[in-house]
Every structure is written in C-alpha cells, then in structure tokens.
A and B are shown apart, each in its own frame.
Chain A
C-alpha cells in the first residue's frame, strides 16, 4: 500500500522536476545561439533516443518477464519495415498491431 503523504510528495516533486527538464534549454538558452558542434549532435536526438528506448522492450518485453517473445519481436520488425517503406506512421502502427495480435492468437 502506498502512503498518501509519500504519494503526493512524489507527484508534486516529480511534476516540478519533469517540467524543469523540459524547460531547461528552451527556457534558459532561449534565442542565444548554440555552438555548431552541439547543434550537430542535437539533430540526432530523436533517432538515437527513441530506438534506444524501444530496443530493450522489443528484445526483453516486461510483459513476458523479459523472455524473448516471437509475436512482439516480429511485430516490431514489421512496424519498422512498413514505416521505412511507406513513410506512413498510421500504416506502420496498424501493420504492427495486426502482426502482434495475429501471432499472439496463432501461437498463444
């Protein structure tokens, strides 16, 4: 059981901290120019962070207690492939979901 006082402390401090992280550069740097080398790195933020966030969940899904899961891994591969080929986010999501449910049904 989570204590009410602890819970609210965490909600409020986590809210302030999360806002701080989101505001730290847009708020404090503002329109001052940032050096070229930094901008060159920042261009790759999205394509680096998101795959790194997803990779462990694809290989060791929490839902299967970290055991490699064929439906989930295949769904991830199909999503990426359809996304690369069609450049269509919605199409990629739907193909991935269809693969996941299809294989879970067939193999489950």
Chain B
C-alpha cells in the first residue's frame, strides 16, 4: 500500500473520514430540526452542538428537557449516554497518550464515534506510526466531520420543522455504525465481542439512564479478551 504511506497522515485521515459526511449531514440536520421544535433559538441550538459535540447525548438531553425532568437527571442521563467516550479515551491512550497535553486536549474535544473508529482502526492496522503521525491522522479524520456537524445543525435549525418524518433520518445512525464496524471483524475474538455485546445490549435495553449500553459494552469487551486468551492458548491466533 504505497499510496497510503506516501500521503501525509493528515490527508489520509481526511480521506478515511469522508464517508461519514453522508451520516453527519442528516444527523446534524435532525438535531437542528428537533432543537428548534423544542423551542430553542438558533444561537442556543448552535451553542449546544459546539459546546457538547455529542449527537446521542444531545438528543437525550433535549428529549428529557422537554419532559421537564430535573436538571440533575438530565445531566446524569446524557453523560451516561456519553460514558462510552471514556472508554474511547482509554482505548486511544496507548496510541496518543505520549502527545503534548494541548494535542491530547484537542483530540479529546474532537473524539466522536466516527473519529474514534476511523482512528483506532488505522492505528491497529499500522502499528509503526509515530505519535505525531497518529495525532495528525486523527485531526484529518475529524476535518470532514466536525465542521459539517456545526454547519448542518445550523441548516436544521433554520429549516425547522419543514423536514418530513418520511425521510427516515433516524436510521442514518444505525446504518453508518454498522457499516463502520463490519470491516473491524478481523478475528474470532472481535466477532465474539460484538455478538455478546449485542445480546447483552438487547437484554439490558430496559436498564435506566442508558446504562444497559455500558453493561453490554463491558460484557462484549470481556468476551473479546477471553476469546483472545483462549485462541492464544490454542495457538490459533494469527
């Protein structure tokens, strides 16, 4: 793959992050539309997207605020939905933990599902990258994503309630996440991790404050780790 190594990490990141343009546009528009429907003005809607920069957590907070849930519960629920970001942070640490503090802070602000998954897939594939190359690649991956998150929140806020339900924008997220995960199933351990996470996730869907997701994630990670140990013992791991 000479083309991969010749291009600068930043440009390679842009290329690998760009399929998510298709997701971010409907997702951000949807948030803008729903926030406007909930009574937020354009400035408030934009501030929400720029300060919090977390799709699912923003949808959760918006939903609960409309139901007049106490502020503390809104915050706890939305942060619980975002707990996976702490897991992403832990997962990225071996790769970019040695970068200067300001770069780590910048990457932290820009850690979203898409940039995480693009970044970690690349870092796993190419263990020889330097820390600086990894940071530049990560910043490349968010370049087509985050500005569009801001811009299309604005578009959605301005469009307001004109977007019909029949566009089925709600399903943009499941589809893109599935598309992102599929190429990551490289070993039996990855498949096992996903299977266990899905089963536990469905069983624990009723657990309040989205904690079922965290339970399912931990169960899946344990299943993956155990399978890896087991495969190593049998000498099957490639």
What residues make up the interface of A, taking CB atoms closer than 8 Å to B? 1-2, 4, 6-15, 17-19, 21-27, 29-32, 34, 37-63, 72, 75-76, 79-80, 82-84, 87-90, 92-94, 96-97, 100-101, 104, 108
Could you list 20 examples of A-B contacts with CB < 8 Å? A2-B38, A6-B71, A10-B75, A17-B79, A22-B88, A22-B108, A23-B104, A27-B89, A31-B98, A34-B90, A38-B90, A40-B228, A42-B91, A46-B184, A48-B197, A51-B178, A51-B198, A52-B201, A80-B178, A92-B182
Shortest C-beta distance, B203 to chain A (Å), equals 10
- Chain B interface size band reads 35 or more
Candidates B56, B66, B94, B193; contact of A48 at CB < 8 Å: B193
The answer on a CB contact under 8 Å between B175 and A96 is yes
Contacts of A23 in B (CB 8 A): 89, 104-105, 108
Q: How far is the CA of A93 from the CA of B20 in the complex (A)?
A: 9
Is B163's beta carbon under 8 Å from chain A?
Answer: no
Q: B residues 146-191 with Cβ under 8 Å of A?
A: 165-166, 168, 170-185, 189-190
The answer on a CB contact under 8 Å between B111 and A22 is yes
Known contacts A10-B74, A26-B96, A51-B194; 15 additional CB pairs below 8 A are A14-B51, A14-B52, A17-B75, A17-B78, A29-B97, A30-B98, A31-B97, A34-B90, A44-B224, A46-B117, A52-B197, A84-B182, A84-B185, A93-B23, A97-B175
Q: How far is the CA of A57 from the CA of B44 in the complex (A)?
A: 28
